[in-house]
Amino acid sequence: MATCQSCKKDWSWFQVFKKSFTVNPAVTCPHCLQRQYPTRKTIKRNQFLLCIIFSPFLLGILNIISAATVFTAIIVLGIIGILFSPFYMEITNEPLLKEKDLLK
Ligand SMILES: [Zn+2]
């Protein structure tokens, strides 16, 4: 679970879950109100999770499973992925280099 790098307090599963739906990559700590950013590792894990969630598309394109199965599998994997994602989220005080450049 995410631990704030400023106040060192752990965020609850629900706090991380709520913050994961914001468009802005910066999230505010519910304890000390400092801005926190997902780590590069967290972003890579999110990308890997998206690949897994949409992997049934490949099986559908190859005609291995039906369109209805693809649709159901993506919804089920998406729900599991969204519920699971707060467990691996790590945050840091520093935005990634790319985001720093955008702020200039
Ligand atoms: Zn904090």
DSSP annotation string for 8-36: -PBPPHHHHHHHTT-SSS-EE-TTT--EE
Q: What pLDDT was estimated at residue 99?
A: 56
Look at residue 98 and tell me whether its pLDDT is greater than 70: no
Residue 89 CA to ligand 1 center (angstroms) comes to: 15
- What's the length of the chain? 104
- Ligand 1 ion: nearby residues, β-carbon < 5 Å: 4, 6-7, 29, 31-32
Look at residue 102 and tell me whether its pLDDT is greater than 80: no
Q: What pLDDT was estimated at residue 103?
A: 60
For the segment 22-41, the average pLDDT, to the nearest whole number, is 89
Q: What pLDDT was estimated at residue 18?
A: 86
Q: Is 33 exposed, middle or buried (0-12, 13-18, 19+ CB in 10 A)?
A: exposed
Lowest mean pLDDT among 40-49, 60-69, 88-97: 88-97
Residue 23 CA to ligand 1 center (angstroms) comes to: 20
Report d(CA 94, CA 80) in Å as an integer. 29
Look at residue 49 and tell me whether its pLDDT is greater than 90: yes
Residue 47 CA to ligand 1 center (angstroms) comes to: 26
